Amino acid sequence: MNYFGDTSYFYCEQVNRMTYCINPNCDKDKRINPINLTKCQSCETALLLYEGRFRIVENITKSPHNPAWEVFIVEDIEYNDTRRVLKTLS
């Protein structure tokens, strides 16, 4: 079956999706939350950004020793979950 006809790939990807907390003071082990939540389980920070348009799905910061900035992959909910990059400065 071709790639577009096999929906099991998309189903598995949807089930395993998580939302990452943007709060740098949130407990490191608890920054990953289920996708259906709107607030972080640990620190109560909003998980949807910019009026609910963006959801952080992954922290791609390479240097854990530089607390001045973090880089995230975000999904743009208004545009079919298009992925973008977000850099935060503290």
Which pLDDT score, from 0 to 100, does residue 19 have? 92
What does the pLDDT look like over 13-53, one tens digit per residue?
444 678 999 988 888 788 899 988 999 999 999 999 999 99
d(CA 39, CA 21): 8
Residue 15: predicted pLDDT: 44
Share in percent of the chain as helix, strand, coil (round to 5):
15, 35, 50
Of residues 88, 89, 63, 52, the one with CA closest to residue 73: 88
